[in-house]
Amino acid sequence: MALRLYTYWRSSAAYRVRIALNLKSLPYESVPKHLLRDGGEQRKADYLAVNPQGLVPALAHDGCVIPQSLAICEYLEEIQPRPSLLPRAACDRAVVRGMALAIACDTHPLNNLPITGYLRREFGADDAAVQRWIAHWIARGFSGLERWIAALDPAVAPSTRRFCFGTQVTLADVCLVPQMYNARRFEVDLAPYPGLVAVCRHLEAEPAFAAARPEAQPDAE
């Protein structure tokens, strides 16, 4: 069975998975689920039968449905080990996973649609307040990650950095680029994060990353 990705063009979690699929040269069928239309297509019964969480992305393959972007990336690593998104050494693999989790678990969830929608409904947050909320949590996440990548290789000038870890793309980069897209979209001040900006500038020009960009997706608006 071919890989089938349930996705949404501007979902940064789905963006991660698209990057990983492209890096591993895995063809897939894109099945868009609009997160806003008609109350959210991800909440409809047909999709809940696929993914009971009602979230995107989800990946269907060989009768198995995998939810959650990092679980999907780990699955892709299992079925297509090369090129690897993780270093060889156990400690290095743990560090890269930690970086990925810092973005996917500590930063991104606080600025996605369910959270911002709740802020508006329950606390009366207007657009300006939501913008401040998003900028605060992205800045907090990026500050820690900027210090982290600098500490791993202090001899490298921030403006010349190409990857979060080591000398090749890892799962950390796969997570960083979509979060940087969000930061720009919400007009976060990126001046304090020259290393992260340099990494993304380098990677966004690579074909696997460019093809995964939200604007390049068939359901883009």
pLDDT digits (tens, 9 = 90+) for 179-192: 999 999 999 999 99
- For residue 79, what pLDDT is reported? 96
Mean pLDDT for the stretch of residues 22-51? 93
Assess whether pLDDT exceeds 90 at residue 156: yes
Q: Which of 153, 154, 146 is nearest to 188 (CA)?
A: 146
Question: How much of the chain, in percent, has pLDDT values that exceed 90?
Answer: 94
Assess whether pLDDT exceeds 90 at residue 39: no
Q: Which of 162, 171, 165, 172 is nearest to 204 (CA)?
A: 162
Q: Which of 10, 102, 100 is nearest to 57 (CA)?
A: 10
User: According to DSSP H, which parts of 105-215 are helical?
Assistant: 113-123, 127-152, 171-185, 194-204, 207-210
Mean pLDDT for the stretch of residues 19-23? 98
Assess whether pLDDT exceeds 70 at residue 133: yes
Q: Please identify which residue in the block is written with the tokens 């560090």.
A: 95
User: Tokens for 194?
Assistant: 């020259």
CA distance 101 to 70: 8
User: Tokens for 54?
Assistant: 């009602």
CA distance 73 to 85: 9
- For residue 38, what pLDDT is reported? 87
CA distance 64 to 217: 24
**How would you classify residue 62: left for phi > 0, otherwise alpha for psi between -120 and 50, otherwise beta?**
left
CA distance 126 to 120: 6
- For residue 55, what pLDDT is reported? 93
CA distance 214 to 221: 9
pLDDT digits (tens, 9 = 90+) for 60-117: 999 999 999 999 999 999 999 999 999 999 999 999 999 999 999 999 999 988 999 9
Is 52 in a helix, a strand, or coil?
A: coil
- For residue 221, what pLDDT is reported? 86
- For residue 214, what pLDDT is reported? 97
pTM for the complete prediction? 0.95
| pLDDT averaged over every residue in the chain | 96
CA distance 219 to 17: 16
Q: Which of 75, 8, 47 is nearest to 220 (CA)?
A: 8
CA distance 196 to 193: 5
pLDDT band at 1, cuts 50/70/90?
A: low
**How many other C-beta atoms lie within 10 A of the C-beta of residue 17?**
31
